[in-house]
Amino acid sequence: MKFRFALAALATTAMGLAIAQTPAPTPAPAAPAAAAVEIPPPPKPVGTAWVLVDYITGQVLAGENYNERVEPASITKVMTSYVLAAEQKNGKIKPDDQVMMSERAWREGGAGTDGSYSGFAVNKTAPLLDMEKGMAVQSGNDAAIALAEHAAGSQEAFASLMNNYAAQIGMKGSHFVNAHGLSAPEHYSTAYDLALLGRAFIRDYPEQYAFNKIKEFTVGTITQPNRNLLLWRDASVDGIKTGHHSGAGYCLMSSAKRGDQRLVAVVMGSTSEKQRADDSLALLNWGFRFYETHRLYEPGKAIATQRVWKGQAKEVQLGVAQPMLVSVPRGRYEQLKPTMDVPKTLVAPIAAGQAIGTVKVTLDGKVVAESPLVAITPIEEAGFFKRLWDAFWMWWESE
């Protein structure tokens, strides 16, 4: 009987240690928080649809009609750029490929049309990298068509790739039929979908994304400026793309980064080049003024520990693999509530970087940041007798 009570006491102690060794994570120290600021209504752009999205969390900070179908005009070329970047990553095409400016590309998107063009010579080739920049900076319809033909054989086949990648990104309200964005039946998107695309492009292909902040580009004897006026107005703006035709109005997908904080704004159906730029910058400034980004956890640093059975060590340190950031209304950092969800029982061996659980951060009961918890250091499997002893205690605690 005494032996049974002793075992029970030891088991209770062991369980207490396990609980004590798994504290809820605490946000990393930050600069003294400012008093909470009452957030005024956002500036309302002139246009048919608009949205302002936080890059880190994907949260919609403000918007109107952002799930309604609109014609994306030349913002379509961001989808084209995304597909080209993905196909390069997959080894299907290369930056030094020689891309032919076909007769069709020249006739449908060249200087003889009403749209923007790059000026590459018809029936001649140019490096894929140059045509990418001609499409991104000059918004060249001719370059977009030629690149689509090179990557997929035809613009129609390339549109299928565009729709496949759009689905992967989560663009549920979009459908593409061409690479350039001129008006066509069944060619549409939404302001929210385009914001998703902007976030994905920045995150997945930063090298190609950087083409969009180039202020001018020369093809032959023709030098043309980037049509995104914000590149000249605000040094924090580094993209993304303008668009315009009679059916779509004036459109702008923009992004700016100040410190750790990045925002993406989409304004569709505006009335002029200046108006779309004015409204986009006003939205970005509003977002940066009333929201702030905090760096919660750094990779490689322990934020919690968890009991491990049958291992050479009794506990494993848990952290995050990537920096964990969160954007919240200014002055509300101290109200964040972190929680940790890990398996009740962990058994060695455990590899470094192995996903163990999840850390979530909430504000007003809503999850504002979430990241996998990973093992910072490996835990090797223990010897036979230690594994046997731990197996006994695991059995005891399960009763």
Active-site annotation, residues: 74, 77, 139
Q: Are 373 and 342 in contact (CB under 8 A)?
A: yes
Which alpha helices (H) appear in 110-252, and where do they start and end? 128-138, 141-152, 155-169, 191-204, 206-209, 230-233
CA–CA gap between residue 255 and residue 233 (Å, rounded): 13
349 prior amide bond cis, ω within 30: yes
Q: Which residue in this structure is represented by tokens 């192995």? A: 354
Q: Are 76 and 176 in contact (CB under 8 A)?
A: yes
Using alpha carbons, list the distances in angstroms from residue 52 to 131, 193, 195, 268.
Answer: 30, 12, 8, 12
Q: Are 251 and 77 in contact (CB under 8 A)?
A: no
CA–CA gap between residue 359 and residue 24 (Å, rounded): 9
Cα 368 to the chain's mean position, in Å?
A: 15
Q: Are 327 and 291 in contact (CB under 8 A)?
A: yes
